[in-house]
Amino acid sequence: MTADEERRKQHRHRHKQRVLRGITDDLVAEFDAAARQAGGDRSTITRQFWEWYVGRPDAELPKRPDRD
């Protein structure tokens, strides 16, 4: 394996990335802040919502942070 191939392999994501369109930077910033306040991150909260939405067994709707 060449050095370039090795470097690309090291920087690959473990999971395939999914793209959501039409989400403003402001909404992303608010979502990230709310996710941190709830003790999670964007990926965890999104995955929990998707699992709940499709009705996976034992899936729960993610908790929203308290509003100030």
Question: What pLDDT score was predicted for residue 6?
Answer: 75
The two tokens of residue 50 are: 């998707």
Residues 37, 13 contacting (CB under 8 angstroms): no
- The model's pLDDT over 25-57, given as tens digits with 9 standing for 90+, comes to 999 999 999 999 999 999 999 999 999 999 999
- The model's pLDDT over 12-29, given as tens digits with 9 standing for 90+, comes to 777 787 888 999 999 999
Question: What pLDDT score was predicted for residue 8?
Answer: 67
Residues 44-60: b if buried by 16+ CB within 10 A, e if exposed: ebbebeebeeeeeeeee
Residues 32, 22 contacting (CB under 8 angstroms): no
Question: What pLDDT score was predicted for residue 35?
Answer: 94
Question: What pLDDT score was predicted for residue 25?
Answer: 96
The two tokens of residue 55 are: 């009705």
